Structure 1
Amino acid sequence: MDQKLSSDVEILLVEDNPGDIRLIVEVLKDGKIKNNLSVVEDGEQALAYLLREGIYTDAIVPDIILLDLNLPKINGTEVLAEIKKHPLLKHIPVIILTTSEAEQDILRAYDLHANCYITKPVNLDQFLNVVRSIEEFWLTIVKIPRR
């Protein structure tokens, strides 16, 4: 199912693990859908990017956000809460991509209106398949609001 988009999909990755960042960048670079991936490494940077503050005044509002929960400075749950209460950001699909399998984290994410919750596999091949699946589902099948 090849969906032609009028412009690149803007993706914001909020992740502090350099290895995970590298893998996600590689999968999305080689993916079916043309995208622009911006990466920030902590919750404080994520909110500054989304609110276009400081060094991020020219940031493009993303079409989709991949958000880790275990972030320095401001954790992913707090970032998610801020996104979903902001009138201009709340429509952006937020995919939680984290190592946490804790039931309270899953419930809290959905209470805060996360669009889905995915636990990162430890196995490299499984991790790559998960990222490819995210791309396939969220960027080719699902209709997302565009900026």
Structure 2
Amino acid sequence: MNSYNYTILLASNEPITQILIKDVIEQASLDHVFVNVFIVKSPVEAVDYLESKVSSVDNLDSCLPLVILSDFNISVLSSLELLTWVKQHPLLNQIPVVVISDLEDKNQAIEAMHLGASSYFVKSEPIENLIYLIKALLPWLLLDYGGN
């Protein structure tokens, strides 16, 4: 049986969040699917990473991340600005973006969803909720990518 390699882009400058997300992805992984978590420490680094992928490869589907997880609490360029940039980019706008936050802020969540976020996850929620979210997203994302 074939095995497939995919990438999830995580923009977070918090080591504990990085470790937690990597563990969650491992728990949510499907048989014969390897999901790599590529970590950047800021939305600016995320934009640089995505621009390098868009400009350097002919087959975008094989190199773009399945999903972008963006920690709301990082500085310089905000997660909402990253979200807006991704959703306005003609080659990237179909990539789901999940905003992760320390705060359960209804207005922040509404704004993120209005800008095109696929989901808004609050870190104080039980980790099982994030595992469930990733497990729910992965099969649909893999179908969209057609098993590349």
TM-score bracket, normalised by the shorter chain, equals 0.7 to 0.9
Q: Deviation string for 1:79-137 (max 9, x for gaps)?
A: 00000000001000111121122222112111111111111126xxx22x133112211
Alpha-carbon distance between aligned partners in 1 of 2:28 and 2:114, rounded to the nearest angstrom: 31
Name the CA distance, whole Å, in 1 between partners of 2:92 and 2:131. 25
Question: What is the 5 A alignment of 1:1-147?
Answer: 7-33=4-30, 34-52=34-52, 60-121=63-124, 126-127=126-127, 129-140=128-139, 142-143=140-141, 145-146=144-145
RMSD between superposed Cα atoms in Å: 2.6
Asked if the contact 2:24–2:130 (Cα under 8 Å) also holds between the matched residues in 1, the reply is: yes
1:69 deviation in Å? 1.4
The one-character-per-residue Cα deviations of 1:48-106 (angstroms, maximum 9, x if unpaired) are 111118xx968931111111112121110100000000000100011112112222211
In structure 2, stretches of 5+ residues that fail to align are none
Q: Partners in 2 of 1:98 and 1:32 — Cα distance?
A: 23
* Alpha-carbon distance, 1:143 to partner: 4.2
Q: Which deviates the most, 107-116 or 83-92?
A: 107-116
CA distance in 2, matches of 1:5, 1:97: 32
Q: Which runs of 5+ in 1 are unaligned?
A: none
Identity %: 26
TM-score (norm 1): 0.80
Count of paired positions:
137
Write out the 4+ residue segments of structure 1 that deviate beyond 4 Å after TM superposition.
56-59
**Which structure has the highest helix share of the two?**
2
